[in-house]
A and B are shown apart, each in its own frame.
Chain A
Amino acid sequence: MSNIDQSRIRNFCIVAHIDHGKSTLADRIIEQTGLLTSREMQEQVLDNMDLERERGITIKAQTVRTVYQAKDGNEYIFNLIDTPGHVDFNYEVSRALAACDGAILVVDAAQGIEAQTLANVYLALDHDLDVFPVINKIDLPSARPDWVKNEIEDVIGIEAQDAPLISAKNGVGIDEVLEAIVHKIPAPGGSRDNPLQALVFDSLYDSYKGVIVFCRVKEGVVAKGTKIKMMATGAVADVVEVGYFGAGQFIPCEELSAGMVGYITASIKNVKDTAVGDTITNAENPCKTPLPGYKKVLSMVYCGVYPADSAKYPDLRDALEKLQLNDASLFYEPETSIALGFGFRCGFLGLLHLEIIQERLEREYNLDLVTTAPGVIYKVYKTNGEMIELTNPSNLPDPSEIDYMEEPIVSAEIMVTTEFIGSIMELCQERRGRYLGMDYVEGTRALLKYELPLNEIIYDFFDALKSRSRGYASFDYDIKGYEQAPLVKLDILINKEEVDALSFIVHKESAYERGRKMCEKLKDEIPRHLFEIPIQAAVGGKVIARETVKAMRKDVLAKCYGGDITRKKKLLEKQKEGKKRMRQIGNVEIPQKAFMSVLKLDSGK
């Protein structure tokens, strides 16, 4: 298929709120375009990381090319570009959208429009994509397709009366969707005669092929041997192979020309050289300007990551190195903690990204980790005019040297049914939110707009949101900028010793509440010792909350005879094993999980 008619290509993505059926619809499209038999289909073909499958979300954008025999008798090439489904990955989403010419909007027939539906559809419209809606889950007893159609027209303002009514799960209405793709999504523009201009929308590292760059060719041609240049990073390389995406495999081809979506491998060793959003051009015949929209990815959330067993430090380093090969947005640098020893300060796009990396380190690399409370980047303005970007609370300068501090603020949109508006507003208030306004979406739902400090939402905001709205609220945010705030460092003292790994930055007003909760939580996590252990929270040396772990009074086996020895020995071994996994702070042994449990201070009511 070397000579592809550009007018028979459709590059599109599917946008939806989480759980509205994006991945299931993708599966059906792949299935019914016939490149795969049902037998070959694994559930949810696109999500091939275990973690993704478990969480039901797409972490890394994936792409598949299929061939569709349309009713007009022609064969069409479909490039379905999957997009990550979480706000942490908004930039990646925007680049994937920029690689498309149109989008299918999936809306749940029972739930209607949700916060992410809006966020994603606006993102798609911003990228000038032609969007057509499909209404999914029409098999549900609670489905209200007509109501949802009206909602789409009223709220988003796109035509929805002839939206296909489908059940992706049961394969109902898929034919209609396939035809709609042909007719409603435009063929790509561009010309193969122009200088090469291709958008990088993802990349991954393969130990055989090196870095594999996913791209959408906007103009020109790229083929084996082309000398390419990354316009933002400046990296230059010779193309080794180009190809397109089969389901779960790379299929080499002769060339990629304007309008096509595919991959390039070149002599590139580091994913950092292939930043998402960068423009690939021909080094010998470069295009004049790069494609718009490139941004350097910045970590938003930081935390300390330490091996539970300090001997595993080199293993952790190797694992982070390997993960970074595939994930340029992961940042790490070595750091040392008095409490936890050698580890790394890691930067993530958001809390979900953090959790994913942590789980991958634990599962794929078999590491036991201790992570410290996640924090954001604070700007600390010192009295000497210097400004430092603080990612580790332990590095906060002495208060006397601080002029003022700034924290990152996000603009948040929360979609909620009207009955929960009160409790969600209360939550936002507690989290120092600034109310911007509210739009009623239709009779029963509202879109709340708030500005919130990022450090107030990285802990357990999402959980609190769900619990206070019985799961109905949905949430989306964007970084707005930095604002001055009265911030303090909260220290935790265990048996009068400060534990550096437990310190964090908090708003002055929330310090007492946070400190109290930390102490309560730690009290439950720290085992009793021979002596009483005070647990204190302090700000600037002043104790603001205290709990006490009472002394151990009794831990003795009354009986031990011949038949018991093996069992009793196992008991002692278990006790010793538990101790081994503890960290010694002064003369107190603190279990690893104590460091983690304080990350989730439940604020729900």
Chain B
Amino acid sequence: MKRLGIYVHIPFCVRKCVYCDFLSFPADEPAKRAYMAALQEEIKAVAGDYGAYEVQTIFFGGGTPSSVATELLGDCLLTIQRHFHVADDAECTLELNPGTASLEGLQVLKKAGFNRLSIGLQSADNKELKLLGRIHTYEDFLSTYAWARRAGFSNINVDLMSALPGQSLETWQKTLQSVVELAPEHISAYSLIVEEGTPLFDHISQYPPLPDEDTDRLMYHETKRLLAENGYLHYEISNYAQKGFESRHNQIYWQRGCEHIRDYLGLGLGASSTVGNYRYRNTDDISGYLKNGKTPDKLRREEEHLSKQELMEEFLILGLRRMEGISSAEFEHTFGVSLYDIYEEPLCKWQAAGCMDKRDGFWFLTEKGIDVSNMVLADFMKI
């Protein structure tokens, strides 16, 4: 059976954070209900196309999925389980934010079949949280985390952000330290990107200064060091996990070779799908989505059929995000051509520059290469 990952987008949040450029917005209860109903329609309507697939991972992301009533989330997962072949050991993740889930709610979610949580903490410093427009405090997070454990979640990710306005290496270290003490199975640590069109971007001068590049890199390297010291494996540019707890779902996006799960179906507003070489994204117009849940064809935008060239590029630029790197054997197996035949020039160039290296048949970005990975990866794009 072919293997599939499912992403479900919940575009709601309590309040938009100042740095957020995701498709998410506050909404009232009836709107959320209407959306979840349309989502159910979409699930039922597309499931037929995936009779030959076994679902390995399900990921409810947002927005803040936990801002929707727990029973609605449970119903949605149930519908997926009814209409798709979901593997018994499937990884089912739910993103949630502190301050949006109760102990009871978490118990309901666990019972419904979610077995992994991704909690958006971002910082253990309340001043930093406030500046980001987060709705919660560090103390709120501690309660949520404790409830999650009590509800039986034994696979938890904590999202963190470095390079925040006004952040110092010390406050970042404190955040890391505090989280490490809780020993979550997985930690995502992103360096903040100030995206155009966000309030942070528009009013950047009103915020404390962003750490400079050197500090940003110091923070990054400190993260690696501290987390490695505490038993976390650095497996992707911004992701760390205890052994065996790497996010199965997210790896679908990065491992584009034939030996991995690489098809993913996005459900809900604005969600992206890539099945084989067919890629599209759902409309991000909410009223259009609500109308056409039953006819998913009408939801699709930006449809494209990826060429072999593009598939090869993605194998590289996404695969190299993983610390392990890309397997030249898998490349050849997938595309029927040798990696060197096609990319000899950039591979040699960046190896010579100390930005890439190879080990046991895998090409990977070195520490130096990660710092400037856009520069390196751009060279693998054909124009």
The count of A-to-B residue pairs whose CB atoms sit within 8 angstroms is 100
Q: Does the CB pair B377–A572 fall under 8 Å? A: yes
Chain A 556-576 against B: per-residue CB contact (8 Å), 1 yes, 0 no? Answer: 111111110110110111011
A576 touches B321 (CB 8 A): no
The count of residues in chain A whose C-beta lies closer than 8 Å to any C-beta of chain B is 25
A550 to B281, CA, bound (A): 40
Within 8 A of B (CB), among A143-182: none
**Is residue B200 contacting chain A, with contact meaning CB distance below 8 A?**
no
The answer to whether A563 touches B372 (Cβ under 8 A) is: no
| B274 close to A562 (CB less than 8 A) | yes
User: What is the bound-complex CA distance between A24 and B334, given in angstroms?
Assistant: 70
Nearest Cβ on chain A to B69's Cβ, whole angstroms: 24
A572 and B191 alpha carbons, distance in the complex (Å): 18
Q: A470 contacts the other chain (Cβ, under 8 Å)? A: no
Given contacts A552-B372, A563-B270, A572-B317, contact A557 B193 (CB under 8 A): yes
A573–B381 Cα gap in the complex (Å)?
A: 6
Select which of A556, A560, A566 is within 8 A of B371 by beta carbon: A556
Query: Which of A559, A563, A565, A579 has the most chain B CB within a 10 Å cutoff?
Result: A563
Which chain A positions have C-beta within 8 A of B317?
568-569, 572
Is A322 close to B, CB under 8 A? no
Q: Are A576's CB and B372's CB within 8 A?
A: no
B374 surroundings in chain A (CB, below 8 A): 555-557, 571-572, 575
Give which listed residue, B193, B271, B302, contacts A566 with CB less than 8 A: B302
Q: Could you tell me if A556 and B279 are in contact, using CB atoms closer than 8 angstroms?
A: no
Cross-chain contact of B238 among A552, A553, A558, A580 (Cβ < 8 A): A558
A54 at the interface (CB under 8 A from B): no
The complex places the Cα of A580 from the Cα of B378 at a distance, in Å, of: 11
Query: Are B371 and A572 in contact (CB-based, < 8 A)?
Result: no
Interface of B is mostly: mixed
CB closest chain-A residue, reference B371: A554
Residues of chain A lying within 8 A (CB to CB) of residue B253: 560-562, 565
Closest to A570 in B: B381
The distance in angstroms between the C-alpha atoms of A563 and B374, with both chains bound, is: 18
Give the contact-size bracket for chain B.
Answer: 35 or more
Given contacts A563-B270, A566-B302, contact A555 B279 (CB under 8 A): no
B362 CB–A CB distance under 8 Å: no
A572 near B321: Cβ-Cβ < 8 Å: no
Complex CA distance for A552 and B369, rounded to whole angstroms: 11
Q: What's the nearest-Cβ distance from chain B to residue A589, in Å?
A: 10
With A569-B381, A572-B377, A580-B383 known as contacts, the answer to whether A558 contacts B193 (CB < 8 A) is: yes
A439 at the interface (CB under 8 A from B): no
Closest A residue to B302 by CB, please name it: A566
Q: How far is the CA of A561 from the CA of B237 in the complex (A)?
A: 12
Report how far A552 CA is from B216 CA in the complex, Å: 13
Q: Does B357 contact A (CB under 8 A)?
A: no
Which chain B residue shows the least CB distance to A568?
B317
Q: Is the CB of A555 within 8 A of B272?
A: no
How does the 8 Å CB contact mask read for B240-283 relative to A, with 1 for contact and 0 for none?
Answer: 00000000001011100000000010100011111000010100
Q: Which residues of A contact B250 (CB under 8 A)?
A: 561
Report whether A562 and B372 are in contact in the complex, using a CB–CB cutoff of 8 Å.
no
Residues of the B chain whose Cβ atoms lie less than 8 Å from the Cβ of A576: 378-379, 381, 383
Query: Are A559 and B190 in touch, CB under 8 angstroms?
Result: yes
User: A311 at interface (Cβ–Cβ under 8 A)?
Assistant: no
Query: Shortest CB–CB separation between residue B145 and chain A, in angstroms?
Result: 22
Q: Which residues of B contact A571 (CB under 8 A)?
A: 374
Nearest B residue to A556 by beta-carbon distance? B373
Q: How far is the CB of A568 from chain B (nearest CB, A)?
A: 8
In the complex, are the beta carbons of B191 and A566 less than 8 A apart?
no
Q: Contact between B318 and A556 (Cβ–Cβ < 8 Å)?
A: no
Judging by beta carbons under 8 Å apart, are B214 and A556 in contact? no
In the complex, are the beta carbons of A572 and B381 less than 8 A apart? Answer: yes
Contact B372 A556, beta carbon cutoff 8 Å: yes
B217 at the interface (CB under 8 A from A): yes
Cβ contact within 8 Å between A579 and B378: yes
Q: Which among A560, A565, A572, A576 has the greatest number of chain B C-beta atoms within 10 A?
A: A572
Check A563/B321 contact, CB under 8 A, given A553-B214, A558-B190, A580-B383.
no
29 contacts between A and B (CB under 8 A): A530-B368, A552-B375, A553-B213, A553-B372, A554-B372, A555-B372, A557-B193, A557-B373, A558-B190, A558-B193, A558-B238, A559-B193, A560-B321, A561-B250, A562-B264, A562-B266, A562-B273, A563-B266, A565-B279, A566-B272, A566-B279, A566-B281, A568-B317, A571-B374, A572-B374, A572-B378, A575-B375, A576-B378, A576-B383
Given A563-B281, A579-B379, 6 more A-B residue pairs with CB atoms under 8 Å apart are A530-B368, A554-B213, A560-B254, A562-B7, A562-B266, A580-B383
Sorted nearest first, the 10 A-B pairs with minimum C-beta distance are A575-B378, A558-B190, A553-B213, A563-B272, A576-B378, A555-B374, A558-B191, A576-B381, A554-B213, A572-B378
